[in-house]
Structure 1
Amino acid sequence: MKIVDVCEFYAPEGGGVRTYIHAKLAFGARLGHAITVIAPGLKDEVVEYGNDCRIIYVKAPPLPFDKKYGMFWDAAPVHAILDAEQPDVLEASSPWRGAWIARSWRGNALRSIFMHHDPLSAWAYRWFDGVASRDVIDRQFEWFWRYLRRMCNSFDYTICASPSLQKRLASGGIYGAVNIPMGVDAGVFSPARRHMSVRRDLLARCNLPNTATLLLGIGRHTPEKRWPCVIDAVSRVAAKRPMGLILIGNGHQQASVIEHVNGNPHIQLLEPVRNRTALATIMASCDALVHGSSAETFGLVASEALASGLPLVLPNAGAVADIAHADFSETYIPGNAHDAASAIERLLDRDQDQLRSAAQRAADTARTLDDHFVELFQTYKDAILEKRKAA
C-alpha cells in the first residue's frame, strides 16, 4: 500500500507522535509499504528513510505557544504532494487544520483520522472536572462535539489507541471510531535493563541515599501533563519518607515547572532522552512511574514503564486508566495533589517485591508497536478490498 500521513503534530524534537511516526516509517519499510509523512517545517525539505518511506516538510509558520511545532497554513502545497503520490490511504493525525486539508483533497483514497490528541480531555475536562459532571461538560461543549462529528464522519475511520477513547467518541456519534491499541518498541523496554548503578546515580542527583525511593515522570512541560500536581504530591510524601523524583522533558511551560519545583533538591529535571535504549535503562532503573495527565490517547509512557517492570501511579481517567491494574497500580483523581500523594503512599505501603513481580508479568505480555501496525495496516487493506468489491 501507499500511505500518506498529513501529520501536523510531528516535529523533529517532538515526543510521543515523533516516536510513533518513526516506528511507522521503519515498520512500513520492512513490510514493503510506501509511507510518506507530510509535516509542517521551517522550510520545504524531504528526508528519506529508505524503501520508499520519507518525511516531506512543507514550509509553515510555527505554533505561537510552542515553536518546536508548525501549523499547516496553505492547502495547495499539501494537495500538490497528494496529487503526485496518489495514496491508497490518506491519514490525518489530528482533527485540526491537517484534517481539513486532507478532507478537501479530491483524490480517491481510503481516509482515516488518527486521534493522537484528545481535545476534550486536554481542555474541557481538565478545566471543569470537579465543577460539573462529564455529561454536563459534554452538553456545554456540544458545539465542539458537532465539529468533531462533522470532521470525523467525513473520514472512513477514526483510529483510537485506547478503548475508553473509542467508546467515548462512538457514544458521541462518531461512526467510524475503531480501537487499535498502540504498543511499545519491541525489545527496547524490559525489566532486564534495570541497573543499580544507574539508580544510585539518579538518587545521588536527588541528594538522596540508595535506601530512598526513586520515582520517574516523563512528558512535555504543558498544562495537560499536570506536572505541578505531580510535584506537589511527591513533595507531600517526601516530607514523611525519603523520596526523589526524576522528571524528564521540556516544553513551553518549563519555566513554570522549574518555579513550582522551587529549588527542592530531591526533584531533578532532565532534558528529553532521545536515545531509546538509554531511556529504557533509566526507566527500568527507577522504582515507580508517576503520571499526571488524564488527556492521553494511549498512554505510551505508562506502557513503556510497565514494559520496563515498573509499578504505576496514574490518574483514574483517560487512556492511562485503561492500562492501570490493581496488581501493579494505584490511581487518583486527576489534578488532585492530595489524592495523588495518597496513591503514592498506598503504592509504597504495599509489598514491593510483589508489585514488581506483577509488573514484570505484565511486561512479558506487553503489546508491541509491531502488533499495532500489523492490525492497522490489515484494517486498511481489508477496507480497500471492500471498497473495490463495492465499486
Structure 2
Amino acid sequence: MRIVDVCAFYAPQGGGVKTYVERKLKAGAKAGHEIIILAPGERSTVVQTDGDGRIVLLPGRRFPLDRRYHYFDDEASLHAMLDELQPDLVEASSPWSSAAMVGRWRGNAPRALIMHADPLSAYAYRWFGPVASRSVIDRGFDWYWRHLRRLDSAFDLIVSANESLSSRLREGGVTGIQTIPMGVEPGIFSPSHRDEALRTHLLRCCGLGPDSLLLIGAGRHAPEKRWPQVIRAVAIAGCRQSVGLVLVGDGRDSARVRRAAAHNPHIHLLAPTGDRAALATMLASADALVHGCEAETFCMIAAEARASGLPVIVPDEGGAADQAGPGLGLCYRAGQPADLADAIDYMAATNPAAWRQRAIHAAAQVGTMDTHFDRLFAIYATLGMRYRNVA
C-alpha cells in the first residue's frame, strides 16, 4: 500500500511525533508499504531519509505558539498534492483543520485519523477544571464535539492510543474509534544501560549525595506539561526526603520553568538531546520518572522509562496513567502538586530500590512501535480490501 500521512505536527527538530514518524517509515518499508509523510514546512521540499519512504513538505504558515512548527493553510494545495501522490490510504494525525481538509478531499481512498493530540485535556479541562465539572466544560465546548463527530463521519477509522481517551470519544458520539497502544523504539531502551557513575554525577549536579532519590523528567516546556507544578512538588517532597530532579527539555514555556527552578539547588535543567542512546542511558540511570501532563495520548517518555526499568510517577488521567501498573508506578491527582509531592514522598520512603527492581523485571513487557505498526497496517489492509471490493 502507498500510505500518505498528512502529519500536521511533524517538526525536524524533534519531539514524540518525529520519533513516531521516523519509526513508521522503517516499519512501513519492512512490511512492504510505501510511507509518505506530507507535512507543512517553510518551503516546498523533500526531506532526505535513510531510504525508507519520503517526507514531503508543503509551504505552510508558522505556528504562532511554537515557532518550530508550521500548519497547513492552503486546502487546494493539500488536495492537489494528494491527487498527485495517489495514495491507497490517507492518514491525518491532528484532529484540527488538517483533518477536516483530508475529510473534504474528493479522492477515493480510505481515511484514518490518528489522535496524536487531546485538545480538551490539554486546554479546556486544564483551564476550566478548577471552576467547572467535565460535563459543564464539554457542554461549553460542544462545537469541538460536533467537529469530532463530523470527522467521524468523514473517516473510516479513528485511532486512539489509550482506552481512557477512546471511552471519552465514544461517550461524545464518536463511533469509529479503535484503541491501538503505541510503543517504544526497539533496541534502544533497556535497564542494562544503567550507569551508576552517571547517576552519582547527576545527583551531584542537584547538590545531593548518592543516597538521594534521583527523579528524571523529559519533554517540551509547554503549559500543558505542567513542569512548574512538578518542580513545586519536588520542592515540597524535598522538605521530607532527599530528592533531586533532572529535567530534560526546552520550549516556549522555558522562562517559567527556569523561574520555578531558580532558587532550588536540587533541580537541574538540561537541554534536550537528539542522541537517543544518551537519553536511554540517562533514563536507566535515574530512580524514577516523574511527569506532569494529563493530556498525553500515549506518553512516549513514560513508556521509554518503563522500558529502561524505571518506576513512574504520573497523573491519574491520560495516556501516562497506563504506564503505572501495580507495583510499577504511582498515580497522583492530575494538576495537584501536593498530591504529587505525597507520591514522591511515598516512593522515597518505601524502598526505591525495590520499586526499580520490579520495574526492571517488567521492562521487557513494554510494547514496541513495531507491534503497534503491525496492528495498524493489518487494519489498513482490511480497509483497503473493503474499498477494492466495493469498487
* Correspondence list, 1:220-239, <5 A: 220-239=220-239
Task: State whether residues 160 and 178 of structure 1, in contact with CA within 8 Å, keep that contact through their aligned partners in structure 2.
Answer: yes
- Please identify runs of 4+ aligned residues in structure 1 that moved more than 6 A: none
Match of 2:384 in 1: 384
Q: CA deviation at 1:281?
A: 0.4
Match of 1:256 in 2: 256
Task: State whether residues 156 and 176 of structure 1, in contact with CA within 8 Å, keep that contact through their aligned partners in structure 2.
Answer: yes
Match of 1:136 in 2: 136
Task: State whether residues 223 and 253 of structure 2, in contact with CA within 8 Å, keep that contact through their aligned partners in structure 1.
Answer: yes
Match of 2:163 in 1: 163
Task: State whether residues 32 and 51 of structure 1, in contact with CA within 8 Å, keep that contact through their aligned partners in structure 2.
Answer: no
Q: CA deviation at 1:135?
A: 2.3
Q: CA deviation at 1:51?
A: 4.7
Match of 2:153 in 1: 153
Q: CA deviation at 1:277?
A: 0.9
Q: Deviations over 1:255-311 (max 9, x none)?
A: 111111123221111111111111000000001001000000011111111111111
| AA of the residue aligned to 2:234 | V
Instruction: Describe the SS at the equivalent of 1:185.
Output: coil
In structure 2, relative to structure 1, the CA distance for the partners of 1:196 and 1:131 (3 Å cut) is: same
Match of 1:279 in 2: 279
Task: State whether residues 219 and 249 of structure 2, in contact with CA within 8 Å, keep that contact through their aligned partners in structure 1.
Answer: yes
Instruction: Describe the SS at the equivalent of 1:43.
Output: coil
Whole-angstrom distance in 2 between the partners of 1:297 and 1:291: 14
Identity %: 48
Whole-angstrom distance in 2 between the partners of 1:30 and 1:233: 44
Structure 1, 74-83 or 15-24: larger mean CA deviation:
74-83
Structure 1, 359-368 or 134-143: larger mean CA deviation:
134-143
Whole-angstrom distance in 1 between the partners of 2:240 and 2:180: 42
Task: State whether residues 288 and 356 of structure 2, in contact with CA within 8 Å, keep that contact through their aligned partners in structure 1.
Answer: no
Match of 2:243 in 1: 243
Number of aligned residues: 391
Match of 1:121 in 2: 121
Structure 1-normalised TM-score? 0.97
What stretches of structure 1 of length at least 5 have no aligned partner? none
What stretches of structure 2 of length at least 5 have no aligned partner? none
Match of 2:111 in 1: 111
Q: Deviations over 1:22-54 (max 9, x none)?
A: 110111122221111111111111023255601
Task: State whether residues 221 and 227 of structure 2, in contact with CA within 8 Å, keep that contact through their aligned partners in structure 1.
Answer: yes
Task: State whether residues 103 and 154 of structure 1, in contact with CA within 8 Å, keep that contact through their aligned partners in structure 2.
Answer: yes
Whole-angstrom distance in 1 between the partners of 2:153 and 2:199: 48
Instruction: Describe the SS at the equivalent of 2:385.
Output: helix
* Correspondence list, 1:152-191, <5 A: 152-191=152-191
Match of 1:10 in 2: 10
Q: Deviations over 1:72-107 (max 9, x none)?
A: 111232222211111011001101121122122211
| AA of the residue aligned to 1:271 | A
Instruction: Describe the SS at the equivalent of 2:247.
Output: strand
| AA of the residue aligned to 1:54 | R
Whole-angstrom distance in 2 between the partners of 1:269 and 1:352: 23
Instruction: Describe the SS at the equivalent of 1:153.
Output: helix
Structure 2-normalised TM-score? 0.97
